[in-house]
C-alpha cells in the first residue's frame, strides 16, 4: 500500500490535536501539506479515516483503530532507535490514581535491589489503558476492568476496601464506619481519572454527582465540605489530606486491582515484572 511513517505521524497528530490546524502546528508543517498527506493515506488505504465538516473533525471507526496502532508503531520505532543508541530503556508502569497504595514503594524498592540493571519508571496517566494501547507505557495498574481485547492480558492481583472521604468538619467524620445510605442525600464528587462510584447505590437512590479533573481538585472539594467522595484504601495512603477523613464504607463491595499488559510485550522485562508483583503482593495480601 506504500504507507509511510509520515502518513502515520499525520494521523496520530490529527487524532491527538483534534484539528488540522493543531496537528499541523504539532508537526511543524503547513495545513495544506498535512491535508495532502491525510488524503494520500486515505487514498492508499481506500477508506475514509477522518470525517471533516466546517465545524468539527472526528476519526471514523477505521481511523480510530489505525490511530491507536499508529501511536504504537511510532512509539515502538522511537524506542528501538533510542535503544540502539543508548541501550535498553526503563520499564514504564502506568497508573491513574494511587498505584498500589502502601504496596508501591516496597514493591519498587525490592525490584531495584533484585534488578538493578532494569530501572522502572512510574507514570500517572488520565487514561492509562489508552496510553498502554499506544505503547507509551508497558503495563498498567487498573481498578476498572479493561476493555475486552484479545491483545491485552490481565491479571487480578488483590482487592481493596472502599472508603468514604469526608471533610474533617463533616458530621460523619466522627464515625468509625459509614454506609451508602449515609451518603445518598449528599453531593458526591467524582474524579475524571478514577472509577465512577455512582452505580454503587440502588436504582432510584443514587446521590447527586459532579466531576472534577484531578485528585487535587477532588480533595479540595471534599475538604471544603462541598461534597463527599468514595474511593479505595490506596487513596488514604497515597493522598492524605489534613482536612479529609477516610472512613470504611461498610456495605460496598471491594475493588479489584489488576495488572494489564500487551499480549506481545513492549518491553522484555514485562513478564519478569509480573512475576515480581505476584510474589510481592502474595506475601503482603491482607484479610478483607
Domain of 40: which CATH number?
1.10.10.10
- Kindly state whether residues 155 and 259 are assigned to the same domain: yes
- With cell 531495584, the residue in question is 112
Q: Are 52 and 23 in contact (CB under 8 A)?
A: no
- Please tell me the distance from the alpha carbon of residue 129 to that of residue 77, in angstroms, as a whole number: 20
Q: Per-residue pLDDT for the chain (288 aa), expressed as one digit of tens each?
A: 789 999 999 999 999 898 999 999 999 999 999 999 999 999 999 999 999 876 678 999 999 989 988 988 898 888 888 888 778 899 999 998 889 999 999 999 999 999 999 999 999 998 899 899 989 999 999 998 888 878 899 999 999 999 999 999 999 999 999 999 999 999 999 988 776 565 788 888 889 999 999 899 999 999 999 999 999 999 999 999 999 999 999 999 999 999 999 999 999 999 999 999 999 998 554 443
Q: Mind spelling out the 3-state secondary structure of the chain?
A: CCCCHHHHHHHHHHHHHCCHHHHHHHHCCCHHHHHHHHHHHHHHHCCCCEEECCCCEEECHHHHHHHHHHHHHHHHHHHHHHHHHHCCCCEEEEECCCCCHHHHHHHHHHHHHHCCCCCEEEEECCCHHHHHHCCCCCEEEECCCCCCCCCEEEEEEEEECEEEEEECCCHHHHCCCECHHHHCCCEEEEECCCCCCHHHCCCCCCCEEEEECCHHHHHHHHHCCCCEEEEEHHHHHHCCCCCEEEEEECCCCCEEEEEEEECCCCCCCHHHHHHHHHHHHHHHCCCC
Interval 229-241: pLDDT, tens:
999 999 999 999 9
**260 grid coordinates:** 494489564
| pTM exceeds 0.85 | no
- Kindly state whether residues 217 and 262 are assigned to the same domain: no
Nearest CA among 21, 50, 25 for reference residue 38: 50
**92 grid coordinates:** 514504564
Domain with 242, as residue range(s), is 162-248
Q: Are 262 and 132 in contact (CB under 8 A)?
A: yes
CATH number at residue 170: 3.40.190.10
- Kindly state whether residues 167 and 233 are assigned to the same domain: yes
Taking residue 21's Cβ as centre, other Cβ atoms within 10 Å add up to 12
- Kindly state whether residues 146 and 262 are assigned to the same domain: yes
Q: Are 119 and 112 in contact (CB under 8 A)?
A: yes
- Kindly state whether residues 135 and 242 are assigned to the same domain: no
Q: How confident is the model at residue 236, as a pLDDT?
A: 95
- Kindly state whether residues 154 and 20 are assigned to the same domain: no
- Kindly state whether residues 169 and 201 are assigned to the same domain: yes
Interval 97-109: pLDDT, tens:
889 999 999 999 9
- Kindly state whether residues 124 and 79 are assigned to the same domain: no
How far, CA to CA in Å, does 130 sit from each of 72, 146, 147, 200?
A: 10, 10, 10, 25
- Please tell me the distance from the alpha carbon of residue 121 to that of residue 105, in angstroms, as a whole number: 12
Exposure of 119 in the CB half-sphere (CA atoms within 13 A)? 6
- Kindly state whether residues 134 and 172 are assigned to the same domain: no
- Kindly state whether residues 49 and 106 are assigned to the same domain: no
Amino acid at each position: 500500500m506504500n504507507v509511510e511513517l509520515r502518513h502515520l505521524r499525520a494521523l496520530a497528530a490529527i487524532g491527538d490535536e483534534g484539528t488540522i490546524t493543531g496537528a499541523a502546528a504539532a508537526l511543524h508543517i503547513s495545513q495544506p501539506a498535512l491535508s495532502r498527506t491525510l488524503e494520500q493515506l486515505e487514498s492508499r488505504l481506500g477508506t475514509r479515516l477522518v470525517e471533516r465538516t466546517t465545524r468539527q473533525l472526528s476519526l471514523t471507526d477505521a481511523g480510530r483503530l489505525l490511530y491507536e496502532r499508529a501511536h504504537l508503531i511510532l512509539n515502538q520505532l522511537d524506542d528501538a532507535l533510542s535503544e540502539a543508541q543508548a541501550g535498553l530503556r526503563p520499564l514504564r508502569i502506568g497508573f491513574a490514581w494511587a498505584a498500589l497504595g502502601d504496596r508501591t514503594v516496597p514493591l519498587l524498592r525490592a525490584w531495584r535491589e533484585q534488578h538493578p540493571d532494569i530501572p522502572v519508571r512510574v507514570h500517572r496517566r488520565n487514561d492509562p489503558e489508552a496510553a498502554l494501547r499506544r505503547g507509551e507505557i508497558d503495563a498498567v495498574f487498573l481498578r476498572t476492568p479493561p476493555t475486552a481485547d484479545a491483545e491485552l492480558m490481565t491479571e487480578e492481583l488483590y482487592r481493596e476496601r472502599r472508603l468514604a472521604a469526608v471533610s474533617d468538619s463533616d458530621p460523619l467524620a466522627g464515625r468509625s464506619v459509614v454506609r451508602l445510605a449515609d451518603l445518598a442525600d449528599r453531593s458526591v464528587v467524582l474524579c475524571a481519572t478514577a472509577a465512577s462510584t455512582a452505580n454503587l447505590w440502588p436504582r432510584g437512590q443514587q446521590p447527586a454527582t459532579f466531576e472534577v479533573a484531578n485528585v487535587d481538585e477532588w480533595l479540595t472539594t471534599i475538604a471544603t465540605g462541598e461534597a463527599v467522595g468514595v474511593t479505595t484504601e490506596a487513596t488514604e495512603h497515597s493522598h492524605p489530606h489534613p482536612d479529609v477523613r477516610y472512613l470504611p464504607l461498610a456495605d460496598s463491595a471491594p475493588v479489584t486491582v489488576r495488572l494489564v499488559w500487551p499480549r506481545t510485550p513492549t518491553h522484555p522485562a514485562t513478564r519478569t515484572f509480573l512475576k515480581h508483583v505476584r510474589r510481592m503482593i502474595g506475601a503482603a495480601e491482607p484479610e478483607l
